[in-house]
């Protein structure tokens, strides 16, 4: 049987509060009634004591005054059982024979429940019979004391009414407060449940924490953290799927294209051997350099697709960058972009997969050339960072569009109409494969891409080759 949070909170609280208030009220009423009863019994005992020791005749007028003081009726019976005086004539005429009530002298009962009960004129009384004082030479007589049970019950109710009413009011207030508290908790729990349901449906929005600083707010904060983590995980999965698809397409295309480029390059080299170029004619040399650049691009696509895996080996990064500068020199000249290189003369070595790092730097350089534009500048920086090496490629261009900044390294994201959006994705893939990182920043009017590589990376945990 399903029970809501509100029921689980409200029902036990109401039951506990009801039992506690009932016990407190009953105890209060019992004590008050006991005290009232004791007072009335003591008061009647004092009246009886006065009457039993009186030296004046017990007339109906005297007994009526005693009735006003104690609330009890008094009847005097002579030895023959005739009524000689009574506080109330109607009660005196119908009073029972004194012999039916024990003669105890002065009664020592401490509670009305200890007194005998009898019925007179259809009403119930607590009764006692004591010897009446002799007066005027009269014979022995008996004084009947009759206390109405209804007076005792009325006194009990008078004492119980206020505690009972206060107890009911207090219980109602506690029930309302408990219900408000339970409803408040229930609403917040239902709000969390709805949020979890939205997360299960793929909506990873976050809830406001609210004003209550309690465990539910902590739970809300945890749900928000879970939502943010799931959102990031979904984004990572989407990117991974896109990268995987890109890798398959690019690798298949690059594998076929590399064979074609190799054939073209071998054909040109064979032609140069058979027919050397005339003096000053460098057109075939330029063609070979362009083919080499294209092969570097294809090699990067193959690395992205992981169709070729190679073990890392020690490489002088300064020499690698200088070689790329020589390879890219015609491209810089054609684009009218100035190249500035800050590479140390001493070797800066690191264990890397050289072709993939070469492809990453090459893609960063091409992006920098396009961003700088005619008349712009591009800088290469190689920094020896001890346990890691840092390669920076900076351009003096305007920087990437603001709307592309969050997804700048995602595949197929580009701000160029003719761009494909694979260069930065490939470069980051290479950095991550080397357990390094690639980030970018905008400062002093320049756009900086920083490729950080460990000196001795564990490529993919096992090295490039499998």
Helix 149-200 / helix 215-274 crossing angle, nearest 10 deg: 0
Q: Mean of the pLDDT values across residues 273-284?
A: 71
So what's the pLDDT on residue 466?
33
Rg (CA), the chain: 54
As a whole number, the mean pLDDT across the chain is 77
17-31, 135-149, 345-359 — most confident range: 345-359
Whether the domain at 5-160 and the domain at 311-461 fall into the same CATH topology:
no
| C-alpha 124, offset from chain centre | 67
Residues contacting residue 288 through CB under 8 Å, at least 6 positions apart? 265, 268, 269
201-215, 241-255, 308-322, 413-427 — most confident range: 308-322
Confidence of residue 464 (pLDDT cuts 50, 70, 90): very low
If one counts every other C-beta atom within 10 angstroms of the C-beta of residue 302, the result is 23
Structure tokens at 172: 């109602």
* Strand-by-strand arrangement of the 117-120 sheet: 83-86, 73-77, 142-148, 123-131, 117-120
CATH architecture designation of domain 311-461:
2-Layer Sandwich (3.30)
Q: Which long-range contacts (CB under 8 A, 24 or more apart) does 56-65 make?
A: 56/135, 57/135, 57/136, 58/85, 58/132, 58/133, 58/135, 58/143, 59/85, 60/85, 60/86, 60/87, 60/89, 60/92, 63/87, 64/88
Residues contacting residue 77 through CB under 8 Å, at least 6 positions apart? 83, 84, 95, 97, 98, 141, 142, 143, 144
Place of tokens 């005693």: 66
Q: pLDDT by residue (tens digit) across 170-183? A: 878 877 877 787 77
Confidence of residue 307 (pLDDT cuts 50, 70, 90): very low
Query: Any idea where the domains of the chain sit in the sequence?
Result: 5-160, 311-461
DSSP 344: -
So what's the pLDDT on residue 390?
93
pTM as predicted? 0.46
So what's the pLDDT on residue 383?
92
76-90, 183-197, 386-400 — most confident range: 386-400
Query: What are the backbone dihedrals phi and psi of residue 234, each rounded to the nearest 5 degrees, phi first?
Result: -65, -40
- Consecutive H or E run containing 156: helix 149-200
So what's the pLDDT on residue 291?
76
Nearest to 365 by CA among 285, 239, 451: 451
76-90, 175-189, 375-389 — most confident range: 375-389
Q: pLDDT by residue (tens digit) across 211-243? A: 667 777 778 878 888 888 888 887 777 767 766
Confidence of residue 79 (pLDDT cuts 50, 70, 90): confident
So what's the pLDDT on residue 462?
42
Q: Taking a C-beta distance cutoff of 8 angstroms, is the pair 356, 414 a contact? A: no
Give the DSSP per-residue string, 160-194: HHHHHHHHHHHHHHHHHHHHHHHHHHHHHHHHHHH
pLDDT tops 80 at residue 209 = no
So what's the pLDDT on residue 461?
44
CA dihedral 119→124→128→133, nearest 10 degrees, is -80
Q: What is the CATH number of domain 5-160?
A: 3.30.450
| C-alpha 317, offset from chain centre | 51
Burial 90-117 (b: 16+ CB within 10 A, else e): ebbebbbebeebeeeeebeeeebeebee
């Amino acid at each position: 049987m399903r029970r809501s949070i509100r029921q689980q909170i409200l029902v036990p609280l109401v039951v506990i509060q009801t039992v506690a208030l009932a016990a407190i009220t009953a105890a209060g009423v019992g004590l008050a009634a006991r005290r009232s009863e004791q007072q009335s019994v003591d008061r009647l005992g004092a009246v009886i004591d006065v009457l039993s020791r009186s030296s004046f005749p017990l007339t109906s007028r005297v007994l009526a005054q005693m009735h006003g003081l104690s609330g009890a009726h008094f009847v005097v019976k002579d030895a023959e059982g005739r009524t000689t005086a009574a506080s109330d004539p109607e009660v005196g005429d119908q009073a029972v024979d004194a012999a039916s009530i024990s003669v105890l002298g002065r009664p020592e009962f401490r509670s009305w429940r200890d007194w005998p009960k009898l019925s007179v004129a259809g009403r119930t009384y607590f009764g006692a019979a004591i010897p009446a004082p002799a007066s005027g030479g009269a014979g022995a007589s008996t004084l009947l004391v009759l206390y109405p049970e209804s007076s005792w019950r009325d006194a009990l109710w008078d004492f119980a009414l206020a505690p009972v009413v206060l107890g009911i009011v207090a219980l109602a207030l506690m029930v309302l407060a408990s219900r408000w508290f339970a409803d408040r908790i229930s609403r917040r729990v239902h709000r969390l449940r709805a949020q979890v349901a939205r997360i299960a449906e793929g909506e990873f929005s976050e809830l406001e924490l609210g004003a209550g600083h309690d465990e539910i707010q902590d739970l809300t904060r945890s749900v928000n953290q879970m939502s943010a983590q799931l959102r990031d995980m979904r984004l990572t999965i989407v990117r991974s799927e896109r990268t995987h698809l890109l890798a398959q397409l690019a690798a298949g295309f690059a594998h076929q294209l590399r064979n074609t480029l190799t054939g073209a390059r071998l054909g040109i080299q064979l032609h140069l051997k058979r027919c050397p170029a005339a003096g000053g004619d460098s057109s075939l040399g330029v063609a070979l350099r362009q083919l080499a650049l294209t092969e570097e691009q294809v090699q990067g696509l193959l690395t992205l697709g992981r169709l070729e895996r190679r073990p890392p080996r020690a490489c002088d990064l300064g020499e690698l960058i200088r070689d790329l500068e020589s390879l890219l020199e015609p491209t810089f000249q054609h684009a009218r972009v100035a190249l500035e290189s800050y590479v140390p003369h001493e070797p800066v070595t690191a264990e890397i997969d050289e072709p993939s790092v070469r492809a990453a730097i090459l893609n960063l350089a091409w992006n920098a050339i396009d961003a700088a534009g005619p008349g712009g500048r591009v800088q290469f920086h190689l920094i020896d960072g001890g346990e890691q090496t840092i390669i920076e490629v900076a351009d003096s261009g305007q920087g990437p569009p603001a709307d592309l900044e969050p997804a700048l390294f995602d595949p197929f994201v580009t701000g160029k109409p003719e761009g494909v959006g694979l260069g930065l994705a490939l470069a980051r893939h290479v950095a991550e494969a080397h357990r390094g990182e690639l980030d970018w920043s905008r400062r002093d009017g320049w756009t900086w891409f920083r490729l950080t590589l460990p000196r001795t990376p564990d490529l993919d945990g096992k090295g490039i080759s499998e």
